[in-house]
Structure formats: structure tokens, C-alpha cells
Amino acid sequence: MKPSAFDYVRADRVQDIFDAFGHYGAEARILAGGQSLMAMVNYRLARPKALVDISRCAELDYMHVRDGHLVVGAAVTQARVQQREALAREVPLLHLAFPYISHFQIRSRGTVCGSIAHADPSAELPLCLAALQGSVVLRSKSGRRTLAADAFFTGMLMTAIEDGEFIEEVRFPLAAEGHRYRFDEVALRRGDFAIVSLAVVASASDVALTIGGVADRPVTRRWPRSVAGDLPAALAAFAWDLQAQSDPHVSAAYRRHLVRTLGQRLITEVLDETVS
Amino acid sequence: MKPYRSDALQTIGLILNGRERSARATPRMLLSDFLRHALGATGVHVGCEHGVCGACTVQVDGVPARSCLMLAVQAEGRSIETVEGLNRDCAVELTDLQQAFKDHHALQCGFCTAGILMSSDAYLRQEPCPDEAQLRDMLSGHLCRCTGYTNIVQALQAVVAQRNGIKKEEDENVRSGS
């Protein structure tokens, strides 16, 4: 389908974004890579009055390590983060998850912050941000506020972004000494939406499992490492708590099954590895 | 801030396959439609129009992109490559990539082919020596309903072997000083 009519603003500077917000109010939508938003605009599921294109905004085109985080600006594509040479060492979970994020041809244009802003419950980047307890920096005309991932994602395709705000950057905590990371996902086809996606982060004292694709947002459960003996029951309880839904492709029971079996596999693997 | 009004035609200038081109479009015009209807690059095939099928894949500043998920206005000043420009620097009619697709019967109806060629061309620049799993992973961004992909994979493997063979030969010649 073709999009409905909208005004287009190319934001070469951050000030242009605020000007557009001032002019169009809540009816302006930020367009970064467009790999989710443009599909919705083509379907007319989104009918913005104005699209504010930040893909060429040099002020938002940065990526660096600062204060123990990998900081990714709003104009940075997924491909650029994936191709970062030190990524496997810096943020191993992202390195593991990137190949599952849609396709080469989409990552080349899709942005990291755009995926976070879209907040699809089956998307890998929100899952990783939640699993790593990263944060989102929201910028508005009056300043900045930093939200933890758990406070940022508020529901299916819903976030804590207020009118007049946009995501300036997201911050992924760097790998901590002795921590171990795992990622796995089941989808109908390579690169398709996740039916269930899982991220495991194990520290010296505990192990955390974050699940995407089941609840309305990524959900984390944390156990002490001593859970190992009682893992099946712990996973079964977690799987029920996620309130899985059936859809035309997959039943709720199958989603719970995947949480239990893949959760068991990843956690057992990671606990075995860190003990040895 | 200079908004482009929804009902106003803008002149969009870009470089298409190495040539400066321009035409007029309103903001809602997709790059895929702009390339086909305004600039005549009908090698850009429009399939699903929501980024899934990959038929409309072009290169924007050398990077593969779905032209149905980009606006024409976003391409202003960019360098766009479509299948029409693939053999531009090539002395023969078909590039090695296109010839391999022909030789291996890697297309039947051909609707998906232009997009796959544009993706593959960019991918092989980035990853000159991929294995079969990597090629299949790259191809997962395209839908082909005729071939079952096997012949496409074989064509790409042939290109990889040929290009790396040439490189190996050259490197050996450099080493031996000939």
C-alpha cells in the first residue's frame, strides 16, 4: 500500500526536531531507519501528520564507550553496531543476538534506538537492553532524563516517551568480569519475528533469564545460582507468570514449552561453564 | 526547520547509477515508486511494499536498502544503485554475478532477481569469502518462489570461488614476483 499524506522534515540538527515538535505537536513522528515505522506507514496503521527524519542528523550519529556502557546514538544503524570490532568483548549478548535481528538488508538501515522506540515485544534489541539492565536517554527541549529499560518499556509497542521527547541514545552496560551471556530464539523463519527469544545473564551470585515474544514486553526473572537443583519448577512457574497468548501460528502452551526447555538448556549450560 | 508540505512537489536530485538525475515528488512517494515511475528504473521490482520480500532492494550509498521502506525525499543527494547500473564498470554485458545466475539457472520468473543481485553485490563486498550458511543467511532477506534457493546459493558460491581464485592467483604472482 501507499502511505497517506504527511509533511516531511529533515532534521539536520537536534533543534530541527524541537521545532517540528513545536509546530506539529504529538502528531509528529520520528523517522530514523524506518524499518518498522515505514511498514506501518505503508499499511496506514500509522498516519502521522509529519515525519521527522533524523537519519542524517550528525549530532545523533555517534557510538562510543563511556562510563562502563556502550552508548549508541539515535542515528546509528544496527549494521554499524554489529560490525563494531570489539562488540563480542564489549557487549557479548548483543553480539550473540544481532544475527537474529531481521535480515542483513534490514539491519543495514534499521537503527538500534528505533527498535527500542518501537518496543515490539518480540524484538531482540529491547530484550537485550532489558536483560542487561541498560538505559534509555530521552531528550526534550527542557533537558534529558535517563530511564532504566524496565521503566521505559510499558507495554506492547508502548514506552515511557512523552510528547516532546525523543530517544537521544541508549546505553548497554559493558560485559562484567566473570559474567556469562547466552541468547537463543525460535521463529517460524530465519529473521522473522520471535515466537520466543531468551537472554541469559549469569553472575557469580545469580542467573537471570529474560524472555521476549511472550508477554507484552521483555520480562526478567532472577534466581540465585543455587536454583540449579530446582530449575524445572522455577522455569515452569516463570512460564505461567508470563501470561502467554495463543495466536494463529503458535499456541500459548508451545510458548511455555519453549520457555521451559530452552531456558533449561541455556541456564544449565551457563551454570556449568562458570563453575568449571 | 524547512518542512516539505504534504501536497507540494519537491524536486529531488540524486545520483542514479552514476548519473545525476532529478524529478519531482511529494513527501509520501516511496523511493521504489520514484525510481520506477519518475526515473524509469523499472528493474526495481515492487512486491510486498512492507519490507518483507526484498524484491525492491537497491543500494543507497553502497548499502543495501528496501526502496519501499524509504521515501524519495530521503534519497535526496544520495547515490542510488539499481540493477540497471550493475554492469556499468564491466567490459562485457553481464557482471560475473549476473553471469553466474544465468549459468546456474538461479532465476525462473526473475521477479526477485534484481533485489537479490543488489543485496549480493553489496554483501560480497563486505564479506568476500562467505560459506554456504552465511550465504543462506543473507538470502533469508529475500523471497523467491520459483527456485527453492538452491540454484541461487550455487551461483553465489561459484562467484565466491571464482573471485577468490583470481585473488589467490594474483597473490601468488605477487609473491613470486611475476
- Per-residue pLDDT, B89: 85
Q: What pLDDT is stored for residue A276 in this prediction?
A: 47
B123 touches chain A (CB under 8 A): yes
Kindly report, residue by residue over A198-227, the tens digit of the pLDDT.
999 999 999 999 999 999 999 999 999 999
Task: Look at residue B66 in the predicted model and tell me its pLDDT.
Answer: 98
- pLDDT of A44 over the 90 cut: yes
Q: A–B: how many Cβ contacts below 8 A?
A: 111
pLDDT of residue A274 exceeding 80, the answer is: no
Under 8 Å between Cβ of A101 and A125:
yes
Q: What is the pLDDT of residue A275?
A: 55
As for the ipTM of the complex, it is 0.93
Spatial CA neighbour of B21 closest among B100, B86, B82: B82
What confidence score (pLDDT) does residue A102 get? 96
Taking only the tens place, the pLDDT of each residue in A52-109 is: 999 999 999 999 999 999 999 999 999 999 999 999 999 999 999 999 999 999 999 9
Q: Is the pLDDT confidence value at B91 over 90?
A: no
- On whether the pTM is more than 0.90, the answer is yes
> To probe the interface with A, which of B14, B26, B28 has the most A CB atoms within 10 Å?
B28
pLDDT of residue B122: 98
- Considering only alpha carbons, which residue of chain B is nearest residue A55? B74
Q: Is the pLDDT of residue B167 over 80?
A: no
Annotate B19-78 with DSSP letters as a single string. Answer: EEEEEEE-TT-BHHHIIIIIT--TTS--SSSSSSS-TTEEEETTEEEEGGGSBGGGGTT-
pLDDT grade for A19, boundaries at 50, 70 and 90: very high
d(CA B79, CA A257): 48
pLDDT tens digits, A242-263: 999 999 999 999 999 999 999 9
Q: Do B137 and A190 touch (CB under 8 A)?
A: yes
